[in-house]
Amino acid sequence: MSHKVIIPIGPYHPLQEEPEFFKLFVEGEKVSDIEIVIGYNHRGIEKICESKHFDQVAFVVERICGICSTSHPFAYVNAVEDLAQIEVPERALFIRTIIAEMERLHSHLLWLGLAGHFIGYNTVWMWAWRYREPLLDCFEMISGNRNHYAMMKVGGVRRDILDEYIPPLKKALDEINRAVDMFKGAVMDDPVIHARLKGIGVLTYDQAVEWSVVGPTARASGVDIDVRRDDPYGAYNRIDWTVVIRKEGDVFAKTVVRILEMYESIRIIRQCLNKMPKGEIDAEVKDIPPGEGIGHAEAPRGEVFHYVRSDGTNRPIRHKVRAPSYMNVASNKIAAVGQSISDATITLAAVDPCYCCTERVAVIDRFRNRKILDGWDLIRLSQEKTYKLRKK
């Protein structure tokens, strides 16, 4: 007889970021349905933006997400520049591209570490986060802050990348390149990781298109989509790089896509540093005319889209944001259903959703409140599966 239980995941969990709430309906070991409740983190940013003037909005949208804290301002300045037809100096475009790619590097390292933690490789977590540190140091050197860089500005960038910053940056890139080599070897050659991640949480091409997923989640399902190439912004069209695509659509493919994208990011930053022209870093911005503008940017998780409308005053009268996780999280409904509970953790985490930790999880009998599992139990289940496989 099927024994149906509900696993509430969230809304609060100590390890990761925004509160989000999942209800997993479980029959035996299998997940039969999933319900997603969001809205705990609603701050009314779009409304706040309408009360700030165009320069201040860049700081507000930066604080939409801590990990994508360049992608959102990047998309926003693209939108305002589209609205006001501002010519951005060449050097500023290169600096924007460098910062955006550094952000992608640090975000993918962060995800890799957390994914390692979920399947019981705490060493991967520690190593990945250890190699994030030199990158954060570079951010601190360039922008003065480890996480919110505040580099974007309508018409250019706020700070220059000085010549003396370039050698330490290149040194950090070399170090990260070696680390990514190590991770690539660790993921590609480890039979346990193959057994744990292959064929898990599969999202086929058709499903990916149907659920409109974006970013690495889509690219791992064979959807050839990348805003950086499809509608170039910044300096991406002046640089030689490729879009990483995998066909399988499982968690393993998502991991591989992210690891290979790190190589591409390193390549892009190196080229940018070499090709960066001298000159101004910001254009003079006069009044913003009435009208509307759209801008997008490829965040580490997918396409960020911003829409700005102006009525000729110094404030936007409408500002709309669409963030990538909004689509990707919904695709869990396909990917996680039919999996066992111990795979649900990594499947939910695989879209890099900004909530992925499954702390404060309790398995409760739907009618009698009999069996209770908490978040540690769920991670333990996931980790035990890896240990069992490792012993075989």
Partner 1 sequence: MSLKLKALTKSLWVFHLCIGGSCNNCDIEILDLLTPRYDVERFGIMLVGSIRHADVLLITGSLTYKSAVRAKRLYEQMPKPGVVVAVGSCALGRGIFKDGYNTPCPLDELIPVDLYIPGCPPKPEAMIAGIVKLVEKVKGKR
Q: Is 376 one of the binding residues for partner 1 (CB under 8 A)? A: yes
Q: Is 207 one of the binding residues for partner 1 (CB under 8 A)? A: no
Closer Cβ to partner 1, 4 or 63, answer by number: 63
Q: How far is the CB of 214 from partner 1 (least distance, A)?
A: 20
Which residue in 6, 15, 245, 283 binds partner 1 (CB under 8 A)?
Answer: 15
Residues 263 and 71 sit within 8 Å (Cβ to Cβ): no
Which residue in 31, 69, 172, 216 binds partner 1 (CB under 8 A)?
Answer: 69
Q: Is 194 one of the binding residues for partner 1 (CB under 8 A)? A: no
Q: Which stretch binds partner 1 (CB under 8 A): 65-73, 153-161, 190-198, 230-238?
A: 65-73
Q: How far is the CB of 249 from partner 1 (least distance, A)?
A: 27
Tell me which residues in 94-113 interact with partner 1 (CB under 8 A).
110, 113
Q: How far is the CB of 125 from partner 1 (least distance, A)?
A: 7
Q: Is 12 one of the binding residues for partner 1 (CB under 8 A)? A: yes
Q: Is 182 one of the binding residues for partner 1 (CB under 8 A)? A: no
Q: Which stretch binds partner 1 (CB under 8 A): 37-45, 176-184, 293-301, 321-329?
A: 37-45
Number of H helices, E strands in the chain: 15, 9
Phi/psi of residue 323, each to 5°?
A: -100, 150
Residues 30 and 23 sit within 8 Å (Cβ to Cβ): no
CA distances (Å), 184 to each of 128, 288, 318, 327, 337, in order?
A: 12, 47, 44, 28, 29
3-state secondary structure of 76: helix
d(CA 358, CA 361) in angstroms, rounded, equals: 6
Q: Is 60 one of the binding residues for partner 1 (CB under 8 A)? A: yes
Give kind and range of the element (H or E) at residue 298: strand 291-299
Closer Cβ to partner 1, 58 or 173, answer by number: 58
Burial class (CB in 10 A: 0-12, 13-18, 19+), 18: middle
d(CA 317, CA 51) in angstroms, rounded, equals: 8
Tell me which residues in 356-375 interact with partner 1 (CB under 8 A).
359-360, 374-375
Which residue in 4, 25, 33, 48 binds partner 1 (CB under 8 A)?
Answer: 48
d(CA 223, CA 208) in angstroms, rounded, equals: 7
Q: CA nearest 108: which of 124, 85, 90?
A: 124
Query: Which residues lie near partner 1 (CB under 8 A)?
Result: 11-12, 14-19, 39-45, 47-48, 51, 59-60, 62-67, 69, 110, 113, 125-126, 129-130, 133, 145-148, 354, 359-360, 374-376
